[in-house]
């Protein structure tokens, strides 16, 4: 962590990944290599039981390859590659392998070296092909109140439940086989009467779809039982529940906290928390904040803590001597509606607080924690039934340091996610090089681990108007990004000597700061001469992260509490409902908990907030496949076994199909629910023509359509 006097920009730093391939553990000697002109050699790879090994292959053989780091000043050049095994230098790091680097169109593969064994990188120059999608064909990922798309018998995604607060108990929709008309109606009424129903009416079918009717459930029966009886009839295609709808979504939930307005806490209004609170206040969820502790003198926070502890020495307590932990805890869950201070985004969510950092000193608060303490805190939080773990911390980016991937941290995070706990982490604040002197755009660890909801930072452009209304939002220049970024949330972007709340994230700090510059002041608002609840301005992805953690807690609480939603489902809801702020570094968009919780609860009435976001091309992947008749693709790409990410224009390049493949097809896919199969609600498109790995493929522009039930790969 770093801090600045009076008004502080807390920066948390980064390093992350792209590639992933099969693993092996054979150790081979490093090849003899030649440095390209202008390249500087790196230090030898640190000793490790499982070094990183990259087998470089090409078709035809003999294509040169250059490995370089993100700054392009440290690189190694391999000439005439037939099959070379590269043992990269340094600790975990992101590399770029460039095949045919001197050609007019070099082929780039990005990898993340994590000391995890062997990988194969392949370039098929003979079959190197490019494609694109019709971006306009991407559909909205936000549920709509409008009618279904004009396709045959579309079935909306999700489990069909016939009970619950949002379901009508005495009516069902019945879809019949065959066409419409008097004969179809008579047959339907005969089936309904045989099951005891006495009322119903026809409803329009989708163009080309089956005849369907709303049918009244017989007295003495219930919708679920009645649906099961009807489904047993050969002429019935399916039966669906009828849901309640509201004329309008919920209004803003008023709170009495003096700073809960769209200037002092503009971030809550940008995220839609004021509307989300009208659905649920988060009381059935628990957030674990693993940071520098919390100010136990702050009544807005101490009253929310279920348990406080620390992991560094027996004498360490949760009391915060830095201010960072108090700040993120306050953003996540400060007590709300008590007519003092700030409103917590998590409103009534409970807190677990962990202090894994040593005390700040009178001269510096640049403390560092170690991952062993972090791991113990994660394990304890899981054992205490945390629903969300919030990590506003990251790895060092000092040039030459051994940083980034940590096996113990990785395993603890993976175990937490596997046990059903949502893990949220800061993407990092060094995309502009402001912290280390060298830009690091890729995600920090632990944000870069699989399954973690990684959070970037947005900011307001208000043209110095001092008003939230009419301001535009963008991704802050310091916010790290990459293909696995989840969402962004407000983190602020102040300039020199800037004290406008619209450019910072204003919330609590600690009353026991050891660094004199961090100790209580009253320069940013009306506070007592000796304030009990200290406040400060902060900015960074650290501040964006607890907003997303609080959003996850509200979703879990609204769904029924602990264990009601999987981490993947929480991520899907947040991703699919995020607002498009038109920035290429926004991930899935800027957090909108208002839309996310409305989608969870099935409230699809007229939405009065920001416009619905269409699926971004960067949320889709392209892949080569040969299988047919299944909805689970077997992806053939060597370098991108999970599919090739598209760029923001909808274009992609496919140069890694094995040379021996022969004929294959190209698919482009948006996996809406993240389950790894192409099913209802996903979006899919494929090239009209088959391709051959021995030559370039003319794919044309691929059109995406929304997938219905029973999909099979063409």
Distance CA 92, CA 674 (A): 28
Residue 303 has pLDDT above 60, yes or no: yes
Among 197-206, 263-272, 378-387, the range scoring the smallest mean pLDDT is 197-206
Query: Concatenated DSSP letters for 322-363?
Result: SSHHHHHHHHHH---SSSSS---TTTT-EEEEEE-SPPP-SS
| pLDDT given at position 403 | 44
Give me 210's structure tokens.
């089956």
Q: How confident is the model at residue 173 (pLDDT cuts 50, 70, 90)?
A: confident
| pLDDT given at position 210 | 76
Residue 399 has pLDDT above 80, yes or no: no
Residue 24 has pLDDT above 60, yes or no: no
Return the number of other C-beta atoms located less than 10 Å from residue 468's C-beta. Answer: 18
Give backbone dihedrals phi and psi of 212, rounded to 5 degrees, phi first: -145, 155
Peptide bond into 446 cis (omega under 30): yes
Return the number of other C-beta atoms located less than 10 Å from residue 590's C-beta. Answer: 27
Please provide the average confidence, as pLDDT, over all residues in the chain. Answer: 78
Please report which helix (H) or strand (E) contains residue 572, including its range.
Answer: helix 567-577
Residue 206 has pLDDT above 70, yes or no: no
Instruction: Characterize 215-254 residue by residue with b for buried, 16 or more Cβ atoms within 10 angstroms of its Cβ, and e for exposed.
Output: bebbeeeebbebbebbeebeebbbbbbbeeeeeebbeebe
Query: Concatenated DSSP letters for 233-297?
Result: STTEEEEEEEE---SB---------TT-STTTTHHHHHHTHHHHTTT---TT-EEEEEEB-B-TT
At which residue do the structure tokens 């009467």 appear? 193
CA angle 318, 322, 323 (to 5 degrees): 85
| pLDDT given at position 4 | 24
Give me 7's structure tokens.
């008004």
β-pair type (63-68, 93-99): antiparallel
Distance CA 416, CA 388 (A): 10
Among 34-38, 640-644, 650-654, the range scoring the smallest mean pLDDT is 34-38
Averaged pLDDT, 370-397: 86
Give backbone dihedrals phi and psi of 590, rounded to 5 degrees, phi first: -90, 135
Among 77-86, 233-242, 272-281, 576-585, the range scoring the smallest mean pLDDT is 77-86
Residue 76 has pLDDT above 50, yes or no: yes
| pLDDT given at position 17 | 25
Residue 327 has pLDDT above 90, yes or no: yes
| DSSP 8-class letter at 619 | G
Q: How confident is the model at residue 12 (pLDDT cuts 50, 70, 90)?
A: very low
Among 182-196, 208-222, 326-340, 415-429, the range scoring the smallest mean pLDDT is 208-222
Rg, the chain, Cα only: 28
Q: Which residue has the higher pLDDT, 690 or 424?
A: 424
370 is catalytic: no
Task: Pick the catalytic residue from 93, 259, 275, 324.
Answer: 324
Distance CA 8, CA 10 (A): 6
Q: For 150-243, which CATH superfamily applies?
A: Peptidase S8 propeptide/proteinase inhibitor I9 (3.30.70.80)
| pLDDT given at position 563 | 95
Q: Which residue has the higher pLDDT, 38 or 698?
A: 698
Please report which helix (H) or strand (E) contains residue 670, including its range.
Answer: strand 663-670
Distance CA 684, CA 491 (A): 34
| pLDDT given at position 164 | 67
| pLDDT given at position 74 | 67
Distance CA 511, CA 567 (A): 35
Contact 672, 705 (CB under 8 A): no
Task: Pick the catalytic residue from 210, 542, 549, 616.
Answer: 542
Q: Which residue has the higher pLDDT, 85 or 134?
A: 134
Distance CA 200, CA 213 (A): 7
Residue 50 has pLDDT above 80, yes or no: no
| pLDDT given at position 246 | 37
Q: How confident is the model at residue 440 (pLDDT cuts 50, 70, 90)?
A: confident
| pLDDT given at position 70 | 54
Among 35-49, 179-193, 458-472, the range scoring the smallest mean pLDDT is 35-49
| DSSP 8-class letter at 518 | G
| pLDDT given at position 588 | 92
Averaged pLDDT, 26-51: 52
503 is catalytic: no
**Percent of the chain beyond pLDDT 70?**
76
User: Quick one: CA torsion of 180, 186, 188, 194, rounded to 10 degrees?
Assistant: 180
Averaged pLDDT, 621-627: 89
Distance CA 616, CA 140 (A): 9
| DSSP 8-class letter at 614 | B
Q: How confident is the model at residue 302 (pLDDT cuts 50, 70, 90)?
A: confident
For residue 139, what are the contacts with CB-CB under 8 A and spacing of at least 6? 149, 614, 615, 683, 704, 706
Among 10-14, 456-460, 533-537, 601-605, the range scoring the smallest mean pLDDT is 10-14
Contact 230, 177 (CB under 8 A): no
| DSSP 8-class letter at 612 | P
For residue 97, what are the contacts with CB-CB under 8 A and spacing of at least 6? 54, 56, 65, 66, 67, 108, 109, 111, 121
- Residue 380 burial by Cβ neighbours in a 10 Å radius (0-12, 13-18, 19+): middle
| pLDDT given at position 555 | 97
| pLDDT given at position 107 | 93
Q: Which residue has the higher pLDDT, 652 or 182?
A: 652
Residue 25 has pLDDT above 50, yes or no: no
Q: How confident is the model at residue 40 (pLDDT cuts 50, 70, 90)?
A: low
Averaged pLDDT, 152-171: 54
Q: How far is CA 694 from the centre of its chain?
A: 37
Q: How confident is the model at residue 703 (pLDDT cuts 50, 70, 90)?
A: very high
Distance CA 453, CA 576 (A): 13
Residue 11 has pLDDT above 60, yes or no: no
Distance CA 351, CA 430 (A): 29
Q: Which residue has the higher pLDDT, 684 or 374?
A: 684
Contact 423, 417 (CB under 8 A): yes
* Domain 266-601, CATH: 3.40.50.200
Contact 5, 523 (CB under 8 A): no
Residue 151 has pLDDT above 50, yes or no: no
129 half-sphere exposure, CB direction, 13 A CA radius:
25
Of 156, 119, 118, the C-alpha closest to 27 is 118
Q: How confident is the model at residue 632 (pLDDT cuts 50, 70, 90)?
A: confident
Among 17-31, 46-60, 563-577, the range scoring the smallest mean pLDDT is 17-31
| pLDDT given at position 58 | 92
Give me 145's structure tokens.
């109140």
Return the number of other C-beta atoms located less than 10 Å from residue 285's C-beta. Answer: 30
- Residue 4 burial by Cβ neighbours in a 10 Å radius (0-12, 13-18, 19+): middle
| pLDDT given at position 68 | 80
Q: How confident is the model at residue 329 (pLDDT cuts 50, 70, 90)?
A: very high
440 is catalytic: no
Among 45-59, 522-536, 636-650, the range scoring the smallest mean pLDDT is 522-536
Contact 689, 700 (CB under 8 A): yes
Give me 702's structure tokens.
């691929």
Give backbone dihedrals phi and psi of 172, rounded to 5 degrees, phi first: -140, 160
Task: Pick the catalytic residue from 291, 444, 493, 579.
Answer: 291
Q: How far is CA 709 from the centre of its chain?
A: 26
Q: How confident is the model at residue 183 (pLDDT cuts 50, 70, 90)?
A: confident
**Percent of the chain beyond pLDDT 90?**
30
Contact 556, 566 (CB under 8 A): no
| DSSP 8-class letter at 544 | H
Distance CA 691, CA 696 (A): 8
Contact 232, 259 (CB under 8 A): no
pLDDT tens for each residue of 232-247: 888 888 888 776 543 2
Residue 112 has pLDDT above 90, yes or no: no
| pLDDT given at position 90 | 62
- Residue 546 burial by Cβ neighbours in a 10 Å radius (0-12, 13-18, 19+): buried
Among 14-23, 351-360, 417-426, 635-644, the range scoring the smallest mean pLDDT is 14-23
Order of strands across the sheet with 107-113? 75-81, 63-68, 93-99, 107-113
Winning range, highest mean pLDDT, from 82-96, 322-336, 368-382, 514-528:
322-336
Helices (H), 110-210: 182-194
């Amino acid at each position: 962590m770093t801090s600045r006097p009076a008004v502080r920009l807390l920066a948390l730093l980064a390093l992350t990944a792209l590639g992933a391939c099969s693993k092996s553990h054979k150790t081979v000697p490093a090849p003899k290599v030649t440095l390209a002109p202008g390249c500087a050699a790196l230090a030898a790879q640190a000793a490790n039981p499982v070094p990183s090994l990259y087998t470089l292959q090409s078709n035809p053989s003999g294509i040169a390859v250059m490995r370089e780091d993100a700054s392009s000043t440290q690189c190694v050049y391999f000439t005439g590659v037939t099959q070379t095994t590269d043992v990269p230098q340094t600790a975990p790091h992101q590399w770029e392998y460039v095949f045919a680097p001197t050609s007019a169109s070099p082929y780039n593969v990005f990898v993340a070296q994590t000391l995890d064994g062997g990988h194969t990188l392949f370039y098929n120059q003979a079959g190197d092909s490019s494609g694109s999608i019709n971006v306009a064909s991407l559909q909205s990922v936000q549920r709509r109140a409008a009618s279904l798309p004009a396709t045959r018998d579309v079935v909306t995604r999700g489990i069909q439940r016939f009970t619950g607060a949002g379901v009508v108990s005495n009516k069902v929709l019945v879809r019949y086989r065959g066409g419409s008309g008097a004969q179809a109606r008579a047959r339907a009424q005969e089936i309904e009467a045989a099951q005891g129903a006495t009322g119903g009416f026809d409803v329009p079918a989708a163009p080309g779809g089956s005849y369907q009717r709303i049918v009244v459930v017989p007295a003495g029966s219930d919708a679920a039982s009645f649906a099961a009886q009807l489904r047993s009839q050969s002429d019935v295609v399916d039966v669906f529940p009828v849901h309640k709808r509201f004329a309008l979504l919920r209004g803003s939930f008023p709170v009495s906290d003096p700073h809960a307005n769209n200037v002092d806490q503009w971030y809550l209004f940008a995220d839609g928390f004021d509307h989300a609170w009208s659905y649920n206040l988060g009381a059935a969820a628990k957030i674990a904040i693993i940071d520098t502790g919390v100010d136990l003198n702050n009544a807005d926070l101490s009253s929310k803590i279920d348990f406080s502890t620390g992991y560094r020495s027996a004498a360490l307590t949760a009391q915060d001597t830095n201010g960072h932990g108090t700040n993120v805890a306050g953003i996540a869950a400060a007590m709300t509606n008590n007519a003092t201070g700030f409103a917590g985004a998590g409103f009534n969510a409970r807190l677990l607080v962990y202090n894994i950092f040593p005390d700040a000193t009178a001269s510096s608060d640049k403390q560092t924690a170690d991952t062993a303490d972090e791991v113990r805190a994660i394990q304890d939080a899981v054992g205490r039934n945390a629903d969300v773990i919030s990590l506003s911390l990251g790895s060092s980016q000092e040039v030459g340091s051994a940083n980034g991937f940590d096996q113990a941290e990785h395993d603890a995070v993976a175990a937490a996610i596997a046990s059903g706990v949502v893990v949220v982490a800061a993407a990092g604040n060094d995309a502009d090089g402001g912290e280390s002197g060298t830009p690091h755009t890729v995600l920090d660890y632990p944000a870069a681990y699989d399954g973690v909801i990684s959070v970037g930072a947005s900011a307001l452009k208000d043209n110095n108007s001092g008003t939230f209304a009419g301001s535009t939002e963008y991704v802050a220049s310091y916010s790290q990004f990459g293909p696995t970024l989840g969402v962004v949330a407000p983190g602020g972007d102040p300039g020199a000597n800037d004290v406008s709340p619209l450019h910072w994230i204003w919330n609590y700090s600690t009353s026991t700061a050891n660094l004199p510059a961090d100790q209580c002041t009253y320069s940013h608002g009306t506070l007592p001469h000796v304030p009990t609840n200290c406040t400060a301005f902060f900015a960074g992805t650290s501040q964006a992260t607890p907003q997303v953690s609080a959003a996850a807690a509200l979703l879990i609480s609204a769904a029924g509490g602990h264990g009601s939603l999987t981490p993947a489902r929480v991520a899907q809801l947040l991703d699919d409902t995020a607002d498009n702020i038109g920035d290429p570094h926004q991930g899935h968009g800027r957090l909108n908990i208002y839309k996310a919780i409305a989608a969870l609860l099935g409230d699809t009435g007229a939405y009065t907030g920001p416009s619905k976001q269409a699926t971004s091309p960067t949320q889709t992947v392209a892949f080569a496949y040969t299988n047919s008749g299944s909805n689970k693709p077997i992806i053939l790409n060597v370098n991108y076994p999970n599919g090739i990410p598209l760029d923001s224009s909808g274009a992609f390049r496919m140069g890694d199909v094995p040379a021996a493949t022969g004929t294959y097809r190209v698919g482009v896919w948006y996996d809406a629910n993240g389950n790894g199969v192409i099913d209802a609600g996903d979006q899919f498109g494929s090239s009209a023509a088959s391709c051959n790995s021995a030559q370039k493929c003319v794919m044309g522009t691929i059109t995406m359509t929304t997938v219905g039930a029973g999909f099979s790969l063409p």
